[in-house]
Amino acid sequence: MRSRWTILAALFVARATIAFQFQSVAAIAPQLSQGLGASLADIGVLIGLYFAPGALLALPGGAIGRRYGDKAVVLAGLLMMLAGELLMTTSTSWSVQIAGRLTAGIGGVLLNVLMTKMVADWFAGREIATAMAIFINSWPAGIAVALMLLPAIGATLGLHAVNLAVTGVILIGLGLIALVYRAPDAAVAVEGERSSLTADTICAVIAAGLIWCLYNIGFAMIFSFGPSMLVEQGWSGAAAGSTISIVLWLAALSVPLGGFLADRTKRGEVILVAG
């Protein structure tokens, strides 16, 4: 029987594919600007479009998962990511690029919502902070790998090769979820858990969401526009991507450490404020 850590590894890789696909535009932004005749503002729109569906689908995504099953919806999301990437490969038309990016983004949003729940299902009451820290770490890890690989692939083999590389990574995530993931045998009861939302819970979720939102705005600015800034200063695309990825690799080390310390000390608030 697969352990919860094996399940976590499969979910980690699947979520990293979202980050890899998301970063595929920013990682090759200079080449993409030349190939599509797009300005930096246009590239910014293409980057932002990936998560635009999140504003509409985050809440219904949970209900969709309850109705059709978490695994089935995650597989459907990965297929949408795959379809969006293949659509972007077919044409350099700006409208096709937008359509493909939105299609992939819808799939990515479904994955983001439901895979977090899938981790909680397996780790509720057991190393939840450590597991969530590892899982969240899939985001900087996926982006860092994209920054290191995709500029070199684009410079050597062209934009179509970048799309195909992203397609291959998505297929790996699809295979892992299809073959490795299974639902836990029984949900673990959490002490003090309530079946309905209270006003205090809603306020706490809003506060946590705002903190996460502001953190990600600053974080995303670095890896979305940092490579283009360095290329404008004369760096090669590969060197710019590798340098910016240092920020992500540092996060890859610090995030699991924070989760481990929170589990060990049982003082997550202190760890959060110190971070």
Q: pLDDT: is 155 or 62 the higher one? A: 155
Residue 214 lies in a domain: yes
10 Å Cβ neighbour count for 215? 11
Q: What is the pLDDT of residues 57-72, one digit of tens each?
A: 767 777 788 888 889 9
Question: Alpha-carbon dihedral of residues 110, 102, 216, 75, nearest 10 degrees?
Answer: 20
Q: Is the pLDDT reported for residue 27 higher than 80? A: yes
- Report the distance separating Cα 9 and Cα 92, nearest Å: 35
Residue type present at position 117: K
Q: pLDDT: is 66 or 87 the higher one? A: 87
Instruction: Find the CATH number of the domain harbouring 213.
Output: 1.20.1250.20
- Report the distance separating Cα 224 and Cα 226, nearest Å: 6
User: What is the average pLDDT value for the chain, to the nearest integer?
Assistant: 85
pLDDT number for residue 81: 95
Q: pLDDT: is 134 or 174 the higher one? A: 174
**Helices and strands per DSSP (H, E), number in the chain:** 12, 0
Counting the structural domains of the chain, the total is 1
- Report the distance separating Cα 111 and Cα 65, nearest Å: 10
Residue 190 lies in a domain: no
Residue 16 lies in a domain: yes
Residue 202 lies in a domain: yes
pLDDT number for residue 194: 54
For residue 247, count CB atoms less than 10 angstroms from its CB and return exposed for 0-12, middle for 13-18, buried for 19 or more: middle
Residue 91 tokens, joined: 């044409």
Contacts of 228 (CB under 8 A, 6+ apart): 26, 29, 30, 40, 43, 240
Residue 191 lies in a domain: no
pLDDT number for residue 209: 85
pLDDT number for residue 241: 80
Per DSSP, helices labelled H in 158-274 are 159-179, 199-232, 237-265, 268-274
Contacts of 138 (CB under 8 A, 6+ apart): 11, 12, 13, 15, 16, 19
Q: What is the pLDDT of residues 33-53, one digit of tens each?
A: 887 887 878 888 888 888 887
Residue 261 lies in a domain: yes
Taking alpha carbons only, the member of 198, 222, 169, 124 closest to residue 15 is 169
pLDDT number for residue 196: 67
State pTM to two decimals. Answer: 0.78
Q: Is the pLDDT reported for residue 218 higher than 60? A: yes
Q: Angle at the Cα of 227 (from 225 to 230), degrees rounded to 5?
A: 110
- Report the distance separating Cα 186 and Cα 189, nearest Å: 9
Residue 46 tokens, joined: 């293409």
Q: Is the pLDDT reported for residue 189 higher than 80? A: no
Q: What is the pLDDT of residues 193-211, one digit of tens each?
A: 555 678 888 898 899 888 8
Residue 195 tokens, joined: 């079946």
Residue 127 lies in a domain: yes
For residues 84-94, average pLDDT:
89
Q: Quote the domain boundaries for residue 47.
A: 4-185+196-274
Residue 226 lies in a domain: yes
Least confident of 16-20, 45-49, 71-75, 264-268: 264-268
Contacts of 44 (CB under 8 A, 6+ apart): 224, 225
